Every structure is written in structure tokens, then in C-alpha cells.
Amino acid sequence: MFLVLFLPLLIPIVKMTTHIIFDMNGVITDDEHCHEMATKEAFGTLGLNVSPDIYRTYCLGRTDVAAFTDLFNDFAIKQVDILSTIEKKTEIYLGLVEENLKIYPGVVECIQRLSSSYTLALTTSSTRVEVSSTLGLTGLTDTFDVILTAENVSKGKPDPEPYLLTLQELKAKASECMVIEDSENGIKSAKAAGIRCLAIPNTETIDKLALADGIFHNYSELTKELFDSL
């Protein structure tokens, strides 16, 4: 069942939607475990055990630059520079996704169908090389009209900058857009940019998604909701 929060507000907003902005990790690709494993391995050589709680607190929904800067500062890591650690993590991640990338059931079909009626964008905290590799494996490389990655922003999610820049690239108003997110930081970013947001509880529990305007549990629900509004 499509679980909608604030139903009276959501129905007219969905009807006004002409642009849909997707997050990638945890929304399209089930690869958050690859990011976590790569981060854990990269920091393990520096003597820091990145536990699931540490990863969730510092890294989930954030750019590597922001997350790793905080990790270096809070855990007093001085052996190497942040950039080389990010490069090491990226190298490990790319190897992992090549062998272990999982795509959420129905998401490719959903996005391909939506692309015939909506303008689509991708706004992710991943780097350009990570996005290129991942989209190539999903077959969605040419599906998005706008792609915004970590290199495009100075402040990552939960700051509104990623979604504000996406609006500029789309030449669209916030009221014309809908964001699809999976993390609390991503939802906060979208809402701070003034954009309505639907969430899927793939990486967070439902209570962490309370700021979203609606929650859906699979992509057939999302597709039906958006096409029924046309």
C-alpha cells in the first residue's frame, strides 16, 4: 500500500509535478553496503574502526569530503591527507560494485517509464566516477536530463545546495519538482530547498523519514501514484 503522509497536501502537489529528482544510493542502487565496506577498509589502515553507528552518523547521505573531514577531525587522524583516503575508498568501492552491485526491484522499469512523461534528474552525494560506473551497470546512463554529483557542490546534503543547484540546472521551480530520497539527510536537503519529497525506507527506519511528504514501499506503488496523477 502507498503510505501517504499529509494526503490533502500531497495530491495537488503530485498533480503539479513535471520534474522528478532521484537520489542514487539507497534509492536506485542497493550499494550503501559497498560504500560502508569501502569506507571501513580505507579507515582501517589508519587505525579507525568505522562501526555501523559511526558510518550512519558521519557518512549516510553525505559527500565523502564532508564525511571524511569530520571523521579526520573528530578522531584526530593525521597520518595521511583526506584526499588520498577518499581516492582509496573510491578505488575499493568501484571494485566492490563491479562484483556486488544490486539494483532495487522495479526501479529501472519505473525510471524508464517515468522518463517518457517527466523530466528526470539525479542528485547524489557520490562522486562523478562512482556515478558513471554505477549508472553504466544499471543501464540508466542516458536516462537523466541533469546529473549533479559531489564535485558540483561546496556543501552536501543536508544543506539545500545540491537541490537548489539541481533546480537551476533544470530551469524549474521547486513547486514543479518532486524528490525521491531514502535518507534523513537527503530529505532535509530537499525540504530546505523547498521541494516536496517522497521517501523509500531502504536505508533508514520509517521514523527517520518523518519529514517526507510521503513514503512508498516499492516502485510499482510509486509509478502508479505518479502516473495516476497525469
Per-residue model confidence as pLDDT tens digits over 38-64: 999 999 999 999 999 999 999 988 999
Does residue 5 have a pLDDT over 50? no
pLDDT classification of 217: cutoffs 50, 70, 90: confident
DSSP 60-101: TTS-HHHHHHHHHHHTT--SS-HHHHHHHHHHHHHHHHHHH-
pLDDT classification of 221: cutoffs 50, 70, 90: confident
* Whether the predicted model's global pTM rises above the 0.85 cut: yes
Report the b/e string of 106-118 with b at 16+ CB within 10 A.
ebbebbeebbeeb
pLDDT confidence of residue 203? 80
Does residue 2 have a pLDDT over 60? no
pLDDT confidence of residue 223? 82
Does residue 11 have a pLDDT over 80? no
- Between 71 and 217, name the one with better pLDDT: 71
Does residue 175 have a pLDDT over 80? yes
pLDDT confidence of residue 3? 45
If we measure between CA atoms, which residue out of 103, 104, 60 comes closest to residue 222? 104
Task: Tell me the domains of the chain and their CATH numbers.
Answer: 3-30+103-228 (3.40.50.1000), 32-100 (1.10.150)
